[in-house]
A = this chain, B = another copy of it.
Amino acid sequence: MKKILEILDKKVNFENAKAHCDVPCGIYDPISAQIAALTVVRMTDLLEEYFKGGDMSAEFMNRASRLIANKEKHAEEVKHDIRVIWGDFIKAEHTEKYPQLNSIVHSIMKLGSETKQHVNREHAVELVEKVNEFAEIFWAIKGMETVKAKAPYAPALELVYRKI
């Protein structure tokens, strides 16, 4: 079976074989983690704005709770998605070539928790940047070019995209 898949994979010219990727892992893409990190910034922005006019109504508490819960959820998503790519796709040869990789991942874990625990735009933006760094290395490993462009939704920060 391996042979058949190798041929199949070669035909469409993708990185799988090279990355020695285990069967269930063929499709990795940091874009979901990047969008999640961006959402963390967005929730932080909305919370900061929202509390400027805060009162103790049920409506207010309802929206505040949901913004906080959404920030939490997306910060967790960032941590989870990056951990999966790091654990399943990144090999010893990659951490040798990119010696900063392990500490980028550690920073993402810490910033993910930081942005859960606080409402702090600076750290949320730093999370986006660290995930961008990770994405850049990821696509470089896959031998693909990237471009920087603003996201098409608020907070419209720059993301690292694979060049299409």
Contact = CB atoms under 8 A, between A and B. Distances in A.
Copies of the chain in the assembly: 6
A47 interface: yes
Contacts of A88: 109-110, 113
Interface string A97-125: 00000110010011011001111000000
Interface in A24-71: 24-29, 31-32, 35, 38-39, 42-43, 45-54, 56-59, 61-71
A2 to B, nearest CB: 9
A144 interface: yes
A9 B155 CA distance: 8
17 contacts: A5-B45, A13-B156, A14-B154, A23-B63, A23-B117, A24-B63, A24-B70, A25-B113, A26-B39, A26-B153, A47-B62, A51-B57, A56-B56, A62-B118, A62-B119, A69-B69, A144-B152
Contacts of A150: 12
A40 to B, nearest CB: 10
Contact of A153 (B16, B48, B106): B16
